[in-house]
Amino acid sequence: MKHSNNLVIGVDHGTDSARAALIDAETGKELALSIKEYPRWKRGLYCNPVKFQFRQHPVDHLEAIEYVINAVLNKVPGSKHHVKAIGIDTTASTPVAVDHEGSPLAMKSEFEDYPNAMFVLWKDHTSQQACDHLNTFSKTWHTDYTRSELCGNYSTEHFWAKALHIFRDNKIRTAAHSFVELCDWLPGELTGNTTPETLLRGMSTASSRGMWNKAWGGYPPDTYFKALDPALGGLIDTFRPEPYTLDQPVGTLTRVWAERLNLNDKVIVTVGNLDCYAGAIGAGVRDRAIVEIIGTSTCAITVSSNKEVPGVPQQAYDMIIPGMIGYEGGQSCFGDLYAWFKKMLMWPLNNILANTTIVDQDTKTKLIDEVYAQMLPALNSHAAAIPHEDSHLISTDWINGRRSPNVDYELKGTIAGLTLSSTAPLVYRSLVEATAFGAKAFTAQFQDNGGCLEEIIAVGGIASKSPYVMQVLADVIGMPISVIATREACAHGAAITAAVVAGVYTDIPQAQKAMKMDISTVYKPNTAHHDYYAEQYEKYLKLEGVKELIL
DSSP assignment of 96-142: EEE-TTS-BGGGSGGGTT-GGGSEE-TT--TTHHHHHHHHHHHTTSS
- Give the 3-state secondary structure of residue 296: coil
Q: Report how far apart the first and last C-alpha atoms of the chain are (Å, whole number).
A: 59
Indicate the burial class of 501 (C-beta count within 10 angstroms; 0-12, 13-18, 19 or more).
buried
**Cβ atoms within 10 Å of 107's Cβ, excluding its own:** 17
Identify the bridge partners of residue 249 per DSSP, sorted by sequence position: 270
Confidence (pTM): 0.88
Q: What is the DSSP letter of 5?
A: S
Integer Cα distance of 83 and 250 in angstroms: 16
Nearest-Å Rg of the Cα atoms of the chain is 23
Contact of 135 with 153, CB cutoff 8 Å:
yes
Residue 155 neighbours by CB under 8 Å, 6+ apart: 131, 149, 161, 313, 403, 407, 409
Integer Cα distance of 322 and 522 in angstroms: 29
Integer Cα distance of 122 and 15 in angstroms: 8
Residue ranges and CATH numbers for the domains of the chain are: 335-451+520-550 (3.30.420.40)
Q: Where are the beta strands (DSSP E) in 429-500?
A: 455-459, 481-484
CA distances to 63, 164, 187 from 85, rounded to whole Å, are 20, 35, 12
User: Mind listing the pLDDT tens digit of every residue in the chain (551 residues)?
Assistant: 789 999 999 999 999 999 999 999 999 999 999 999 999 999 999 999 999 999 999 999 999 999 999 999 999 999 999 999 999 999 999 999 999 999 999 999 999 999 999 999 999 999 999 999 999 999 999 998 987 544 457 889 999 999 999 999 999 999 999 999 999 999 999 999 999 999 999 999 999 999 998 888 999 999 999 999 999 999 999 999 999 999 999 999 999 999 999 999 999 999 999 999 999 999 999 999 999 999 888 989 999 987 777 767 788 889 999 999 999 988 989 999 999 999 999 999 999 988 888 888 899 899 999 999 999 999 999 999 999 999 889 999 999 888 788 778 788 899 999 999 999 999 999 999 999 999 999 999 888 888 889 899 999 889 989 999 999 999 999 999 999 988 799 999 999 999 999 999 999 999 999 999 999 999 999 999 999 999 999 999 999 877 655 55
Integer Cα distance of 534 and 219 in angstroms: 42
Integer Cα distance of 304 and 286 in angstroms: 7
